Amino acid sequence: MNEQPTTITVIGCGYVGVTTAAILSHCGYMVYAIEVNPERLNILKQGRSFFYEVGIDPLIAHSTQRGSLVFTDNYTEALSKSSVVFSCVGTPDNPDGSSNLSYVFTAAKQAAEHIAQDAIFVQKSTVPVGTGQKVERIFKDAGATISYVSNPEFLRESTAVIDTLWFDRIIAGSNDTSAAERILDIYRVVEKQRDTIASLAKLETPENPPATQYIHTTQSSAELIKVSANAFLALKISFANSIAKLADAAGANVVEVMEAVGADRRIGRAFLNAGRGYGGGCFPKDVSGLIRSAQDFGVSMEIMQAADDVNNAMPGYILTKAQTILPQKSWKDVECTVLGLAFKSGTSDTRKSPAIAIANLLRRNGARVKAYDPQAIEEATHDLSPEIELCTDLAVSLQNSSCVCIATDWSEFQNIDWAKTNVQYVIDAMNCLEPASLPNNITYIGIGR
Ligand code: UGA
């Protein structure tokens, strides 16, 4: 192992930045985490996270108390002391689907002004292939001598801490072999510390931990690895949803189909769950970003456009299917409760959530809509139609509703005592219920089953 840096700066305190900073601060490093949003910074400085993510708060609280993790908006202090700088800023999408790299370039410009000579600048943000060269140019133009390493992140929201401790692979893309190895070494330290950190976070260690791979590759390959991985997972989901529609039409069961298809080790069972489609801050924008960046290279990605089209159509497909089963064949004045608003369970994140699309579409079709989510009510408010009634209590949300749509698979929805409700129709947009477990007077409407 190479000589280890003692001070690290993480720029950007979203899911990736906060998780990275919190974990590295338990691995013997002094970590500065830069956040420019004053409200978020204020919460982080209190030793907790501004988003819901299991296990993260104890890690932040412990490190901020003992001083190995400092949240700040001061680039000068943090960067001048750091030999490694991780850039973890957001890359949202532009209206045309391309990646908005303004935060990436701003972070690089700020870093270039203050970064220590010969530090390693590590790009963790998801960026289109070719971005690293532009970022390197920013440092060069500012007269800063750095090594650049593309180190894409693969953690998932809702399992961010466990994913960061037990990783399938770490990618370090750089022309500078020594810099790439130094970054890989940081993760070797994380690997050594992971049991201790998991126990501090009160998280159980995974039953079948992945075999870890440390991969040194080129900068552009590293950039492409990240977007290709997300794009392929999105493809699997849209494939499962396409088969689900065929299963609906032909009377087959997509759950059984995907169990058996996924039993082929060449295919694998993961990400073949049909339902209301993918959302969140990653898949939708990474798919559109890949399509756009390929166009810039003169390459057309019809396959990803198809995945995107299938995905966007799922909320409409589900509500049309359910509508044909309702006795009045219309949503007009149907009392419907949407359970779950987050883009997936285990998070308060509602970015591009298909659950919100379902709720809004139900309302547009004339239904009287109530919505409940155990964590995401606050974040959902901005994107939901103001005519939708938000409920902070599950039981209250179910009162008087004849129809329920499960739009995010929170585990508490498994425990609903349906017999105590007036619900007649359950639309299981996540295929997460066992139809046979429902009382006989309830009509179950799944996706492809
Ligand atoms: C995804 C990737 O899984 C991570 O590896 C990656 O690091 C991250 O994006 C990122 O680029 O930052 P995430 O968006 O947190 O992680 O969540 P996923 O668990 O991948 O789920 C994405 C969406 O797909 C959710 O809406 C989920 O409900 C949906 N999904 C997932 C399905 O509809 N079907 C499935 O079978 C699996």
Evaluate whether 63 touches 25 at the Cβ level (below 8 Å).
Answer: yes
Q: Which atom of ligand 1 sits closest to the CA of residue 160?
A: 15
Does ligand 1 have an atom closer than 6 angstroms to the CB of 169? no
CA distance 373 to 340: 5
Q: What is the pLDDT of residues 415-431, one digit of tens each?
A: 999 999 999 999 999 99
* Region of residue 42 (left: phi > 0; alpha: psi -120 to 50; beta: else): alpha
Does ligand 1 have an atom closer than 6 angstroms to the CB of 156? yes
DSSP state letters, 190-251: HHHHHHHHHHHTT-PPPSSPPPPEEEEE-HHHHHHHHHHHHHHHHHHHHHHHHHHHHHHHHT
Report pTM: 0.95
> Which of 156, 243, 447 most suits a substitution to test ligand 1, by most atoms within 8 Å of the C-beta?
156
280: three-class secondary structure by DSSP: coil
Q: Quick check: 398 pLDDT over 90? A: yes
pLDDT at residue number 5: 58
Q: What is the pLDDT of residues 284-326, one digit of tens each?
A: 999 999 999 999 999 999 999 999 999 999 999 999 999 999 9
Q: What is the pLDDT of residues 238-288, one digit of tens each?
A: 999 999 999 999 999 999 999 999 999 999 999 999 999 999 999 999 999
Q: In degrees, to the nearest 5, what angle opens at C-alpha 240 toward C-alphas 235 and 245?
A: 125
Cα(157) to ligand 1 centroid in Å equals: 8
Q: What is the pLDDT of residues 28-60, one digit of tens each?
A: 999 999 999 999 999 999 999 999 999 999 999
pLDDT at residue number 4: 55
Cα(265) to ligand 1 centroid in Å equals: 21
Reported as a pLDDT band with limits 50, 70 and 90, residue 3 is low
Does ligand 1 have an atom closer than 6 angstroms to the CB of 254? no
Strand order in the sheet with 443-445: 389-391, 368-372, 335-339, 403-406, 425-428, 443-445
Does ligand 1 have an atom closer than 6 angstroms to the CB of 154? yes
CA distance 136 to 112: 10
Closest CA to ligand 1's atom 20: 156
Reported as a pLDDT band with limits 50, 70 and 90, residue 174 is very high
Does ligand 1 have an atom closer than 6 angstroms to the CB of 150? no
DSSP state letters, 368-432: EEEEE-SS-HHHHTTTS-TTSEEESSHHHHHTT-SEEEE-S--GGGGG--GGGS---EEEETT--
Does ligand 1 have an atom closer than 6 angstroms to the CB of 233? yes
Q: Comparing C-alpha atoms, which of 161, 148, 38, 41 is closest to residue 87? A: 148
- Note the residue count of the chain: 449
30: three-class secondary structure by DSSP: strand
Q: What is the pLDDT of residues 113-164, one digit of tens each?
A: 999 999 999 999 999 999 999 999 999 999 999 999 999 999 999 999 999 9
Q: Comparing C-alpha atoms, which of 410, 414, 411, 405 is closest to residue 434? A: 414
pLDDT at residue number 210: 86
Residue 85's Cα: distance from chain center in Å?
Answer: 23
At residue 18, what is the residue type?
Answer: V
Closest CA to ligand 1's atom 6: 154
Where in the sequence numbering do the catalytic residues fall?
A: 282
* CB within 8 Å of 253: residues ≥ 6 apart: 247, 448, 449
Q: What is the pLDDT of residues 212-244, one digit of tens each?
A: 999 999 999 999 999 999 999 999 999 999 999
> Which of 228, 243, 278 most suits a substitution to test ligand 1, by most atoms within 8 Å of the C-beta?
278
- DSSP letter at 439 equals -
Does ligand 1 have an atom closer than 6 angstroms to the CB of 153? yes
Per-chain mean pLDDT for the chain: 96
Q: What is the pLDDT of residues 70-96, one digit of tens each?
A: 999 999 999 999 999 999 999 999 999
pLDDT at residue number 1: 54
Cα(123) to ligand 1 centroid in Å equals: 21
Q: Which atom of ligand 1 sits closest to the CA of residue 159?
A: 15
CA distance 58 to 334: 44
Does ligand 1 have an atom closer than 6 angstroms to the CB of 20? no
Strand order in the sheet with 147-150: 69-72, 30-34, 7-11, 84-87, 120-123, 147-150, 169-173, 213-217
CA distance 438 to 449: 15
CA distance 3 to 436: 59
Q: Which helix (H) or strand (E) holds 136?
A: helix 131-141
**Percent of residues, the chain, with pLDDT higher than 70:** 99
